[in-house]
């Protein structure tokens, strides 16, 4: 008994210190705007989940009329946890680094492992399923199947959630490369989806079968408890055996020298751009940020509508095309210098002129835009008009967008830790970075709309011509950027020197 009390006291100490650490971390965006946005997003997600949970019956009847609500509900549960597992693999953070300061103190390993396991429960992923599924269980199950069945439903859902929680963490710990597992998982899911489509196999049917069994014989739910317990124990044993600083984190591989020779044609600017490509590929946060941008490329599938294209209503499509062709500009460019915060002092002291420094940035952004534009050119199969619009925007992005982004980047003084994940990471994001999206997204409309009154094609031509003019007069804009940078470089460097923990 006394030991248990002690253990509990230890946890509270751990958690309290973590909590303080969270609030005191310098990188935490201190601006009210950023915090308000975070709070808003969190509230929105919680509210939405709760809304879905409470109104599930009506939603099902609305979406799938005529189907038995229980069959749909039972079928959805395993689906949800399948997707939940993939999302966890991508976004759930390992609570590993935080324990390093405790390893050398007089604290038994067992306690640290327990702490890690409990700490892992504090995640959004462990709140959402409760909000989505439990209201339905509580509102409807007791009347139809009795209280015990309802209880076992809840226990089963919680068990599945715990199973997912520990399984995801276990896989993340075991696998050196998260991405490969996610890809395999995606293929697995896709295979199941295809089989489901051809009615060879059905998750919904399995899910339905299992939960129907619970309604008939509630004790069947114990299977889920057993599953969750097993996963917990596997994870516990693995952690207990691998509680060493170098083993908690992923396996290291031999690093080799890489050279992007095609960039050598651009002189020093090319060398610097190559450097930044390495920065993106070799660090967790920028890599994830750019990967997110690639996901946006699917927007066109959803939002390019044949009717709109035929009617030449480009203003409806412009925002989508912008998001696809300039997303690197938007999400990576937001913190253009922040990515280099760790070596910024060195960059300033080296023999690199500010003009070349900016030329390299423009080169990098142009390269990114070119690649994105080439990829989304596949949408040209829908209509040649799409190609026209995307290339007009491409010229606009490279001519004008790059300059706007770089100008705003000189006003961001927050350093970024590249080794942290990108999801829900607001380090380095400030009010200016959020406002930055506005000129990038809105300015094309300012040019397009008036000209489109004459004819939509004129609007597109206007965008392309403005962009080309921007490219032709780049020297002038570069001079402007260099002056803006020189004015604030001390402030930027000082901001970056304040390493965030």
Partner 1 sequence: MISINALQKIYAGRTVVDIEQLTISRGETIGVVGNNGAGKTTLFRMLLDLIRPSSGTIHSKDLNVAEGDQWKNYTASYLDEGFLIDYLTPEEYFIFVGSLYDMDAKEVTGYLKEYEEFFNGEILNSGKYIRDFSKGNQNKIGIAAALMQKPELLVLDEPFANLDPTTQIRLKSHLKQLKSTSITTLISSHDLNHVTDVCDRIILFEKGKVIKDLKTDANTLEELEAYFSQ
Q: Which residue's CB is nearer to partner 1, number 260 or number 384?
A: 260
Does 282 help bind partner 1 (rule: CB under 8 A)?
yes
Q: Which residue's CB is nearer to partner 1, number 327 or number 341?
A: 341
Contact 188/203 with Cβ under 8 angstroms?
A: no
Which of 243, 465, 453, 485 lies closest to 360, judged by CA? 485
Does 290 help bind partner 1 (rule: CB under 8 A)?
no
Q: CA 334, 336, 339: angle at the middle one, nearest 5?
A: 110
Give the separation between CA 301 and CA 313, rounded to whole angstroms.
17
Among 1, 5, 32, 257, binds partner 1 (CB under 8 A): 257
**Could you give the string, one character per residue 405-424, with x where binding to partner 1 holds by CB under 8 A and - elsewhere?**
-------------x------
367-386 residues labelled b (16+ CB within 10 A) or e (exposed)? bbbeebbeebeebeeeeebb
Give the separation between CA 430 and CA 415, rounded to whole angstroms.
11
The piece of 117-125, 126-134, 279-287, 405-413 that touches partner 1 (CB under 8 A) is 279-287
Q: Which residue's CB is nearer to partner 1, number 431 or number 484?
A: 484
Backbone dihedral angles phi then psi of residue 191, each to the nearest 5 degrees: -60, -45
Q: State the minimum distance, in angstroms, from the CB of residue 497 to partner 1.
A: 7
Q: State the minimum distance, in angstroms, from the CB of residue 283 to partner 1.
A: 6
Q: State the minimum distance, in angstroms, from the CB of residue 350 to partner 1.
A: 6
Give the separation between CA 492 and CA 274, rounded to whole angstroms.
23
Three-state DSSP string of 55-121:
CHHHHHHHHCCCCCHHHHHHHHHHHHHHHHHHHHHHHCCCCCHHHHHHHCCCCCHHHHHHHHHHHCC
The piece of 10-18, 183-191, 213-221, 277-285 that touches partner 1 (CB under 8 A) is 277-285
Q: State the minimum distance, in angstroms, from the CB of residue 489 to partner 1.
A: 8
Question: What token pair was written down for 482?
Answer: 């260099």
Residues in region 291-330 near partner 1 by CB under 8 A: none
Q: How many residues bind partner 1 (CB under 8 A)?
A: 30
**Could you give the string, one character per residue 363-402, with x where binding to partner 1 holds by CB under 8 A and - elsewhere?**
----------------------------------------
Does 283 help bind partner 1 (rule: CB under 8 A)?
yes
Tokens 């014989």 correspond to: 217
Q: Which residue's CB is nearer to partner 1, number 100 or number 454?
A: 100
Kindly state the DSSP code that residue 261 receives in the 8-state scheme.
G
**Could you give the string, one character per residue 335-354, with x where binding to partner 1 holds by CB under 8 A and - elsewhere?**
-------xxxxx-xxxxxxx
Question: What token pair was written down for 289?
Answer: 């940020």
Which of 183, 422, 416, 170 lies closest to 292, judged by CA? 422
Contact 322/441 with Cβ under 8 angstroms?
A: yes
Residues in region 19-38 near partner 1 by CB under 8 A: none
Q: CA 171, 43, 134: angle at the middle one, nearest 5?
A: 65
Does 258 help bind partner 1 (rule: CB under 8 A)?
yes
Q: Which residue's CB is nearer to partner 1, number 58 or number 498?
A: 498
Q: Which residue's CB is nearer to partner 1, number 350 or number 475?
A: 350
Q: State the minimum distance, in angstroms, from the CB of residue 261 to partner 1.
A: 11
Q: State the minimum distance, in angstroms, from the CB of residue 260 to partner 1.
A: 11
Which residues contribute to the site for partner 1 (CB under 8 A)? 252, 254-258, 268, 271, 275, 278-279, 282-283, 342-346, 348-354, 418, 490, 493-494, 497
């Amino acid at each position: 008994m006394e030991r248990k009390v002690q253990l509990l006291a230890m946890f509270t100490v751990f958690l309290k210190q973590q909590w303080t650490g969270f609030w005191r971390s310098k990188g935490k965006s201190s601006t009210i705007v950023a915090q308000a946005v975070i709070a808003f997003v969190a509230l929105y997600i919680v509210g939405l989940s709760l809304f879905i949970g409470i109104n599930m019956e009506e939603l099902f009847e609305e979406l799938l009329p005529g189907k038995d609500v229980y069959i749909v509900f039972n079928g959805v549960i395993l689906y949800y946890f399948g997707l939940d597992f993939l999302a966890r693999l991508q976004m759930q953070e390992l609570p590993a680094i935080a324990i390093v300061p405790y390893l050398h103190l007089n604290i038994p390993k067992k306690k640290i492992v327990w702490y890690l396991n409990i700490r892992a429960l504090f995640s959004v992923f462990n709140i959402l399923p409760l909000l989505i599924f439990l209201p339905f269980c509580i509102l409807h199950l007791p009347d139809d199947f009795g209280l015990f069945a309802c209880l076992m439903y809840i226990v089963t859902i919680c068990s599945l959630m715990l199973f997912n929680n520990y399984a995801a963490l276990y896989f993340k710990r075991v696998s050196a490369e998260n991405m490969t597992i996610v890809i395999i998982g995606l293929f697995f899911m896709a295979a199941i989806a295809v089989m489901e489509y051809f009615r060879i196999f059905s998750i919904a049917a399995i899910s339905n079968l299992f939960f129907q069994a619970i309604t008939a014989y509630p004790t069947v739910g114990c299977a889920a408890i057993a599953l969750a317990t097993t996963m917990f124990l596997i994870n516990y044993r693995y952690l207990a055996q691998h509680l060493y600083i170098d083993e908690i984190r992923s396996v290291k591989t031999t690093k080799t020298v890489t050279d992007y020779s095609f960039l050598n044609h651009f002189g020093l600017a090319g060398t610097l751009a190559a450097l930044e490509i390495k920065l993106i590929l070799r660090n967790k946060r920028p890599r994830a940020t750019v990967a997110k941008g690639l996901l946006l490329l699917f927007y066109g599938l959803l939002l390019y509508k044949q009717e709109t294209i035929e009617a030449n209503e480009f203003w409806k499509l412009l925002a989508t095309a912008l998001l696809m062709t300039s997303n690197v500009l938007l999400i990576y460019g937001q913190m253009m210098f922040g990515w280099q915060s760790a070596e910024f002092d060195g960059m300033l002291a080296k023999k690199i002129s500010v003009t070349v420094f900016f030329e390299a940035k423009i080169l990098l952004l142009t390269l990114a835009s070119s690649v994105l534009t080439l990829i989304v050119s596949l949408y040209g199969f829908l209509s040649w008009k799409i190609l026209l619009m995307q290339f007009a925007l491409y010229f606009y992005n490279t001519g004008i967008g790059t300059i706007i982004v770089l100008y705003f980047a000189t006003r961001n003084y927050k350093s970024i830790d590249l080794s942290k994940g990108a999801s829900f990471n607001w380090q380095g994001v400030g009010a200016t970075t959020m406002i930055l999206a506005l000129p990038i997204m809105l300015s094309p409309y300012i040019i397009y709309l008036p000209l489109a009154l004459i004819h939509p094609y004129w609007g597109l031509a206007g965008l392309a011509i403005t962009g080309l003019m921007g490219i032709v007069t780049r020297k002038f804009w570069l001079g402007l950027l260099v002056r803006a940078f020189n004015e604030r470089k001390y402030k930027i460097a000082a901001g970056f020197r304040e390493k965030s923990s």
